[in-house]
Chains A and B, each alone.
Chain A
């Protein structure tokens, strides 16, 4: 009888219920005022004398700085893992601010990437963190050597013994890394990366550092040992305009030698002549390699299912000077970091020949700029 009435009322009510807003804390966009003036940082224009432990620490006069730890680990039973723990420093203005007023005032931004590669399960655990270099939340110091962001840290607990700790939601890293002698890259730690003056950086590595400790994945701990490689580099806008990215190889071979190579790519996909490398033989002797001293040939490519980015995934490297011919292949393809910067960095296997002798090794490869221009 009053069917129409019921209908009418439900219609009215229905109209009100539609389009009920919910408070969603979604993203927003910020329009920032342009900085009054671009701060002038010091540039790497000529070799300087790097001395240790002083230069383990930060260089706030330069805009960008990083401490890279990568390593290949395995359990006693031979289950392989790879790790990366990188702390980046970026100065917003040169030098340190004069500290008065709030202790939170800072011009130093730290961010950090931590990854763990579980080769057996083909699992990759990348995490990123940010903080300001203030109130002890993040920072770097030379003596005692310590770089940290929140509870992630690289810390020299005893002379020569560096402790690494990082923890993400699913993976955790606790390593003891034995410091070896730093190796200055390029010309006494000065490497040129572009054509303009100042397109360069200061760069040293610490290679073949015996490493032991534990990795924890999804709550399961593994006792591991292996070898770690540290790169510490600082610069101010080291790349030329038009540099697309780089492919970086840090390889530790079984004979006790180590090879670092990088190839800068321009945005027309050609290799840039500023690429170079370093060979450290088992006796610790350092040999600088120019771009014409080696060839890198891409043998395979992999398309990331997540980012649809195409990365090279297998290389043939030959260094005629060293009579070295090796193939480098990712232990697994799934080692892409989709963080504020998107790049691929992962553990690789090395096999090949040197002077007709078969040679094996492990290492890390970093592939940047396949997603977009790097803005360093």
Chain B
């Protein structure tokens, strides 16, 4: 038949039939819908939560940076000397410049969250941010009188003021690393758009003079915003900038922040993708069933003149509708879910990367569209094979059941072969030194390959267990046979469960190994007995320094054998040098200035020059110690001879003495002796201290004495090693809370998958069961048989999940983690990871079997056996 002759045809009757079927088997379709929805929900929620944290940061950055094209920043920790600003305005004559003095504070009256105190100069604001432009103030400058002339007056967004019920004239307290500063609210700013309102939700504005006073930055600026209109402007500015001050584009800055969390976000996304993959198994399963079950119907339809294309359309159409509905549901669920996980993600970002406060989940339509597209296309993709299968239905009325399964049996060797091929590809991808996305692609290949291996392994295993189950009687013999006979469907359910459980095993091993590694590392590194710090603004990071008087007093405290002090600043490594070869890079790091080793030589090293303790050389200013993350994230395996760091005095090169493990930062850490640090970076402050007590004195007494001495001082925190260690582990556990949540979700999706598969499987056998019941199988025996089968399937999934889980763990630990964060972990195997996962698989399968068993036991025998 040529296309031109093709008669008019309508699919309407087919859709009507599909609708009838949906009504009859709504539960199956609903489960399938849920599978799509949960997969999409996970993807979307992670995306949204990630994006919200990112957007919140960027929005607040934008709200501050405004229309700035560039920023002038300081390399020195103290900030930019304010005379730089004067020179730019008066010598270069550039007025589209605005000075900013900002810093993080804790606002106990505003929900005790970290907020950004932004000191602005209203007179230079208008090119950047119009909220305060004097031309908006119809009363002239009188309104600004208090803000400008009275110290410690602040402006909040109207929203924040409303949320925390503070009003004009109220006094708030700001907590600056324990130093409490009262401020008065003298203005409420209401930006026109909600986006900007949201951006302002974590900002406190104050006059630049107040900001300098509150943040103790007199004489200095945090940065200078700039709108450059020409290259000439930039050249004029560059000529004016002293050493230690640099010009950066606003885009580059935003990018740096994005880069910082890229690996973290990608990891979460990959985890959420796993859920979608599991969801796809579920879809595939449901569609396959719906096709298999309707084969007789399709046969008849084909006899009656339905075209194969129409059947294909029918299946794909059904799935498209389910895909759309599921995706929409998933988007909704995802948004709800995002609201609960955004806190977890924000916490981690605050702990490890930068301070951000997310008040609201931003819902950019792009992400929703992405979730929608992925949901629909994965649904269609999963339905493709069964749809083609449906298309190939030959016109016939009698179903040759066994031939269908025989086809699967014949496929088994090919499936095995595909597993080999895909696994080899996966290994290849993992071995490629080509970044994180490729590594994840490799990981996914391994997982998918294993799914393909499921049918042959299931068949083999069932043959193996038959002698064992035979002892359970005829049902024991029947159950494995049933699984094999319906392999095309059972193996999909098993594969879905297996993937989910292997993710549990893999992630558990990874997190467990991580934790053990961190505990060991903490125990080796934290050798001092007492730690003194200012209170932290966020959990992991101390954004303040100790009162110098306190430091001086501590150093003279009786009963102490040794006192080590630390300070740190953000810096940029610009080059690695290997012999006479120089590799130019640009990498943000944490530069630690150390006086003394807090580990007293116990710290393990990944590499040491001449294998000797690097501290004596470090102490003499002979070089630096770098963290392994600095090298691993740059894809470098060998330690460089020296590194170059951008300093206030220009680029400085330091020999590398050793490479140490550091699990507190994935950005890279460099330790430098305090003498060169003070000389070059000019910061004599102390951020933390470690105290070693003399063996002759009682540790508890010293701690008590210290606490008593600093009682009532909110800016000094005295901690024992134990509490510091516990605090660190608490952060660790909190970081992985999100992982746990995702893991649980993957299991839920898999559970739904198994439930749906088993249900279809059992419902398909309704008639068969009816005969068994008619001829004398008791309901109890029926229960037994169903649960035996599902239990067996759970066992197979659990059995397969163990090696796969181990492989996943290996990949996560030795490939993904290293490339994402630059951390080397020691793999720790704990039998409980395995048997627990096995248990999860079996319990999930059994639970999933309960409903179908119950349904079957309720089927009236008479209707089941009534003719076809």
Instruction: Report if A and B touch in the complex (beta carbons < 8 A).
Output: yes
List A residues at the B interface (Cβ < 8 Å): 1-2, 5, 8-9, 12-13, 16-17, 19-33, 35-36, 39, 90, 92-93, 97, 101-107, 109, 111, 129-132, 134-137, 148, 150-151, 167, 339-340, 375
A12–B375 alpha-carbon span in the complex (Å):
13
Residues of A within 8 A of B207 (CB): 104-105
Interface-located stretch among B210-218, B466-474, B499-507, B726-734: B210-218
Q: Are B313 and A32 in contact (CB under 8 A)?
A: no
Contact with A along B144-182 (1 / 0, CB 8 A): 111111010001001000000000110000000000000
Q: Are B131 and A28 in contact (CB under 8 A)?
A: yes
Partner of B140 from the list A19, A22, A24, A375 (CB cut-off 8 Å) is A375
Given contacts A1-B309, A33-B185, contact A16 B369 (CB under 8 A): yes
Partner of A32 from the list B63, B135, B144 (CB cut-off 8 Å) is B144
A-B contact pairs, 10 of them (CB 8 A): A12-B328, A19-B365, A23-B199, A26-B193, A27-B136, A28-B130, A33-B168, A104-B82, A109-B123, A167-B93
Residues of A within 8 A of B316 (CB): 2
CB of B134 closer than 8 Å to a CB of A: yes
Closest to A32 in B: B143
B86 to chain A, nearest CB (A): 5
B500 to chain A, nearest CB (A): 29
Contact with A along B187-219 (1 / 0, CB 8 A): 111111111100100000001111111000011
A157 to chain B, nearest CB (A): 16
Q: What's the interface size class on B, roughly?
A: 35 or more
Closest to B126 in A: A130
Partner of B86 from the list A32, A111, A137 (CB cut-off 8 Å) is A137
A-B contact count (CB 8 A): 193
Partner of A35 from the list B67, B140, B142, B210 (CB cut-off 8 Å) is B142
A227–B762 alpha-carbon span in the complex (Å):
105
Partner of A25 from the list B129, B140, B145 (CB cut-off 8 Å) is B129
Q: Are A23 and B212 in contact (CB under 8 A)?
A: no
Q: Are A9 and B190 in contact (CB under 8 A)?
A: no
A29–B376 alpha-carbon span in the complex (Å):
45
B116 to chain A, nearest CB (A): 17
Q: Are A104 and B209 in contact (CB under 8 A)?
A: yes
- Which DSSP category, helix, strand, loop or mixed, fits chain A's interface? loop
Q: Are A130 and B134 in contact (CB under 8 A)?
A: yes
5 closest A-B pairs by beta carbon, nearest first, are A104-B209, A28-B131, A28-B191, A102-B209, A105-B209
Residues of A within 8 A of B129 (CB): 25
A121–B313 alpha-carbon span in the complex (Å):
73
Residues of A within 8 A of B132 (CB): 28, 30
Given contacts A35-B145, A102-B209, A167-B93, contact A30 B155 (CB under 8 A): yes
Partner of B186 from the list A19, A32, A111 (CB cut-off 8 Å) is A32
Residues of A within 8 A of B366 (CB): 20
B322 to chain A, nearest CB (A): 12
CB of B95 closer than 8 Å to a CB of A: yes
A92–B192 alpha-carbon span in the complex (Å):
28
List B residues at the A interface (Cβ < 8 Å): 11, 59, 62-63, 66-67, 82, 85-86, 89-93, 95, 121, 123-124, 126, 128-137, 139-149, 151, 155, 158, 168-169, 185-196, 199, 207-213, 218-219, 309, 313, 316-317, 320, 324, 328, 364-366, 368-369, 372-373, 376
The CB with the most chain A CB atoms within 10 A, among B85, B126, B141, B145, is that of: B145
Given contacts A101-B209, A104-B212, A167-B93, contact A33 B320 (CB under 8 A): no
B56 to chain A, nearest CB (A): 12
A103–B217 alpha-carbon span in the complex (Å):
11
Partner of B146 from the list A32, A97, A135 (CB cut-off 8 Å) is A32
Q: Are B169 and A135 in contact (CB under 8 A)?
A: no
Closest to B371 in A: A16
Partner of B123 from the list A2, A21, A23, A132 (CB cut-off 8 Å) is A132
Residues of B within 8 A of A21 (CB): 193-195, 364
Residues of B within 8 A of A25 (CB): 62-63, 66-67, 128-130, 196
Q: A104-B207, A150-B89, A375-B140 are in contact. List 5 more A-B contacts (CB 8 A).
A: A8-B324, A17-B369, A28-B132, A31-B158, A92-B145
Given contacts A27-B136, A33-B168, A33-B187, contact A92 B148 (CB under 8 A): yes
A106–B189 alpha-carbon span in the complex (Å):
22
Residues of B within 8 A of A20 (CB): 364-366
Q: Are A105 and B151 in contact (CB under 8 A)?
A: yes
Closest to A26 in B: B192
Residues of A within 8 A of B192 (CB): 26-28
Q: Are B208 and A31 in contact (CB under 8 A)?
A: no
Closest to B367 in A: A16
Given contacts A17-B369, A103-B82, A150-B89, contact A30 B148 (CB under 8 A): no
Q: Are B89 and A101 in contact (CB under 8 A)?
A: no
Residues of A within 8 A of B309 (CB): 1
Q: Are A24 and B313 in contact (CB under 8 A)?
A: no
Residues of A within 8 A of B190 (CB): 28-31
Residues of B within 8 A of A129 (CB): 95
A25–B189 alpha-carbon span in the complex (Å):
13
Residues of B within 8 A of A9 (CB): 320, 324, 376
A92–B208 alpha-carbon span in the complex (Å):
17
Q: Are B365 and A24 in contact (CB under 8 A)?
A: no
